[in-house]
Structure formats: C-alpha cells, structure tokens
Amino acid sequence: MTVRSILRFPDPLLKAACAPVTVFDDDLRSLVTDLLETMHAAPGVGITAAHIGVLQRVTVIELSREDGARTYINPEITWFSEDMQRHIEGSVSMPGFTDEIIRPKAIRLRYQDIGGELREAEAEGFLATCIQHEVDQLDGIFWLQRLSKLKRDRLVKKWEKAKS
C-alpha cells in the first residue's frame, strides 16, 4: 500500500481521457489499494487513476468507512434521470476549492469489478453525484468544466492566487 502523489490542477493529464482496463491482475489490485490509501490521505470521497497520473479507467469511491469502498473499473453511465440535484463538489487535485454543480439525481451504470466481472448498478443522491464526477474525470472532464465560465474563471483565479 502506497500513498501516491496527486496531480494538481491544471496538470494536462487531468484533461486526458483514460484507456479501458484490459488486464485484471495483481498490478490492478495494487493500483486500487494505492488509490484508496491516497484518497484517505488527501482526504476525499472519490479518486481516479488519472488523479495520480495513471490513465486507466479505474475509480474508487468511499462515502463512509462503515459502508466501505466501491471500485469501478471501466465505468460507463448508461442512463441519467431527468430529475436534477445540486451538490457542492471539489477535487483532490484542487484541495480546498469547491462550488455547486447541478447533475442528474439518479443514474444507471455498467462497470467491471476488480476480477473483471461485468456488473450493473443504480445510484442516486450523493453516490450518483460522486460516480458522475469521477466518470467525468476518466473522460478528461475536470469538474470545473461543469461550472459557468464566470464561476470557473473566478475559482481558477483564486486557485492561482492561493498557489503563489
């Protein structure tokens, strides 16, 4: 188990789409373990392999330690509800900065588990928001892109000022 370095916005790798996982082996299991440890250290509730510079479609989400971590390999959202919800989002790649995003309240997804088995699931509420956020990242869409240009520009300006 290793806590890995997290890429910081505006690293260009955060805008890269991730490749599908094709090999389900010990290296993948190690990556998932490292992602969980890195997410706990950040701290955060979700992380993708892209956040640590590994461009593979892998994400780990843990809303609470009691419920445990969920691992999604090659996730694909197959349905979005028409009902929308607002939630404050941020990123382990931009710690301390958040804003409100509007996303569908419920989703269906298809993914593979750590052993490569194809699975389907439904999610709503906060879990649906987290999955959509992380799938966006796997597609090379950083959460700021879901904000209006005005909000995005303001947040980026604050981020740049805080870094200097």
CATH class of the domain whose range is 12-163: alpha beta
Edge-first strand listing for the sheet containing 118-124: 46-48, 58-61, 70-80, 106-112, 118-124
Rounded to the nearest 10°, the torsion over CA 73, 121, 109, 34 is -20
Select which of 62, 76, 100, 134 is catalytic.
134
Determine whether 120 is an active site residue.
no
Asked if 69 and 90 count as a contact pair (C-beta separation under 8 A), the reply is no
Q: What confidence tier does 163 reach under pLDDT thresholds 50, 70, 90?
A: confident
Structure tokens that stand for 34 in this block? 């490292």
**For position 65, what pLDDT does the model report?**
87
Q: What is the pLDDT of residues 33-62, one digit of tens each?
A: 999 999 999 999 999 999 999 999 999 999
Q: What confidence tier does 164 reach under pLDDT thresholds 50, 70, 90?
A: confident
Name the phi and psi angles at 155, rounded to 5. -65, -40
127 vs 106, 107, 138, CA distance in Å? 9, 9, 17
Asked if 104 and 146 count as a contact pair (C-beta separation under 8 A), the reply is no
**For position 3, what pLDDT does the model report?**
95
Alpha-carbon distance 11 to 100, whole Å? 22
Can you give the residue ranges of every domain in the chain? 12-163
Mean pLDDT for 70-98 is: 97
